[in-house]
């Protein structure tokens, strides 16, 4: 990936106060991929923006004056909502790169409030495309952050994310001067609401650690792996492509055992939750024949011939890409969690920040 990828760019992150957004902001400000002109956090939660701003201002006591001169700084905060097209259009003015991380992502919440998921996950994407098209904005690249649940969806969250993928792919036809690409990955192990923070909390409380089913497998992705996928899509993705990380996987019972270690904590099986898959699937059988290898990632070529052009899939996959394909043993799981600093001792401070 080009080391100067973000030099002089104005980068806007919708949902920028979330788990992915925070790590993405840190990585952008580290200048590892070039020095962006601005990094803009766009979200509707004033409190989360406030606390995130205080951290970056390195204030020991939060005071109101930290909000002033916001738009003269490299890191900017913008209150807005992807559900509101006018809000989106205003924020996207003069922006070069957009990462759409705003989402309703909790499966049970989306089941109980499916239209709320539609408004954020589908209408939010449409508002971004529509704002660029209607106002002829000079946005160069839009990255849509999707999920494994969009692949062969069985729940409202996955269904809305699947439509979001299609909206961004078709956006390449409506906005020919803007490149729309996507990223798709499974549960990020250290993100808010994921299994590792849950297990850590249960271990802290003395157990039990809850397992939905002994057969369940998941890809072992960290937040930095997720950000690497976003960067790869920006650096090399062609219009309409969806980047998927090639990642190791493990049984969730082994993740629990690795985190528990030699502590006297028991596990209990609670049963699979409604809408939950036993295995994560990130590329379906139908997508396999239009999937190509891109370094450490797979790229799913768009279905629409007007967007795909002369690109053809190599059929590098002969079947769906599932977390059940190659599963690490317990020792391999423990080693990988240690390498990615996801063990209990490594992430306590990090998780406290995520859960603010």
- The CATH number of whichever domain residue 235 belongs to comes to 3.40.50.720
**What distance in Å separates the CA atoms of residue 301 and residue 239, rounded to the nearest whole number?**
9
Q: Which helix (H) or strand (E) holds 78?
A: strand 75-79
Confirm whether 269 is domain-assigned: no
- Mean model confidence pLDDT for the chain: 90
pTM: predicted TM-score of the whole model, two decimal places: 0.91
Mean pLDDT throughout 206-227? 92
Residue-level pLDDT at 249: 93
341 catalytically annotated = no
Confirm whether 328 is domain-assigned: no
Could you list the residue range(s) of the whole structural domain that residue 296 is in? 10-186+222-246+281-320
Structure tokens that stand for 52 in this block: 């995130």
Catalytic residue among 9, 22, 105, 149: 149
Q: Which of 283, 173, 286, 193 is nearest to 239 (CA)?
A: 173
Mean pLDDT throughout 42-47? 94
Task: Give the Cβ contact number of residue 279 at 10 Å.
Answer: 18
Number of domains in the chain: 1
Confirm whether 133 is domain-assigned: yes
Confirm whether 176 is domain-assigned: yes
**What distance in Å separates the CA atoms of residue 354 and residue 18, rounded to the nearest whole number?**
8
Residue 11 banded pLDDT, cuts 50, 70, 90: very high
Q: Which of 176, 167, 259 is nearest to 210 (CA)?
A: 259
Mean pLDDT throughout 136-154? 96
Answer whether 107's CB lies under 8 Å from 113's CB: no
Query: Phi-psi category of 309—alpha, beta or left, where left has phi over 0 and alpha has psi -120 to 50?
Result: left
For the chain, give percent helix, strand, coil, nearest 5: 40, 20, 40
Confirm whether 4 is domain-assigned: no
Confirm whether 93 is domain-assigned: yes
Confirm whether 290 is domain-assigned: yes
The set of residues, in sequence order, having a beta carbon less than 8 Å from that of 354 and lying 6+ positions away, is 19, 22, 190, 191, 192, 197
Considering only residues 34 and 55, tell me which one the structure prediction assigns the higher pLDDT: 34
Place of tokens 């401070």: 349
Confirm whether 330 is domain-assigned: no
């Amino acid at each position: 990936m080009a080391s100067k990828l973000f030099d002089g760019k104005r980068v806007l992150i919708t949902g920028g106060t979330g788990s992915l957004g925070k790590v993405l902001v840190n990585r952008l400000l580290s200048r590892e991929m070039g020095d962006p002109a601005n990094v803009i956090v766009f979200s509707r939660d004033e409190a989360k923006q406030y606390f995130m701003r205080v951290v970056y201002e390195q204030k020991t006591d939060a005071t109101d004056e930290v909000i002033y001169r916001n738009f003269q700084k490299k890191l900017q905060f913008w209150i807005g909502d992807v559900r509101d097209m006018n809000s989106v259009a205003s924020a996207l003015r003069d922006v070069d790169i957009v990462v759409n991380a705003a989402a309703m992502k909790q499966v049970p919440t989306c089941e109980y409030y499916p239209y709320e998921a539609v408004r954020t996950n589908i209408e939010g994407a449409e508002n971004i495309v529509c704002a660029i098209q209607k106002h002829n904005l000079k946005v160069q690249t839009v990255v849509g952050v999707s999920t494994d649940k969009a692949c062969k969806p069985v729940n409202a969250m996955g269904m809305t994310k699947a439509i979001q993928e299609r909206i961004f792919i078709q956006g390449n036809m409506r906005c020919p001067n803007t490149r729309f690409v996507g990223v798709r990955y499974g549960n990020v192990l250290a993100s808010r609401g994921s299994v590792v923070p849950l297990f850590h909390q249960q271990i802290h409380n003395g157990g039990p650690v809850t397992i939905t089913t002994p057969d369940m497998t998941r890809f072992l992705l960290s937040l930095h792996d997720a950000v690497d996928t976003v960067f790869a899509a920006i650096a090399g993705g062609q219009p309409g492509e969806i980047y998927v990380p090639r990642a190791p996987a493990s049984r969730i019972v082994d993740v629990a055992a690795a985190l528990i270690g030699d502590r006297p904590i028991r596990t209990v099986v609670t049963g699979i939750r409604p809408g939950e898959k036993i295995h994560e699937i990130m590329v379906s059988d139908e997508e396999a024949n239009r999937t190509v290898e891109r370094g450490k990632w797979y790229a799913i070529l768009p279905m629409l011939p007007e967007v795909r052009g002369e690109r053809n899939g190599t059929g590098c996959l002969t079947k769906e890409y599932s977390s059940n394909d190659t599963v690490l043993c317990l020792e391999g799981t423990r080693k990988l969690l240690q390498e990615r600093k996801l063990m209990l001792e490594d992430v306590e401070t990090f998780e406290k920040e995520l859960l603010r």
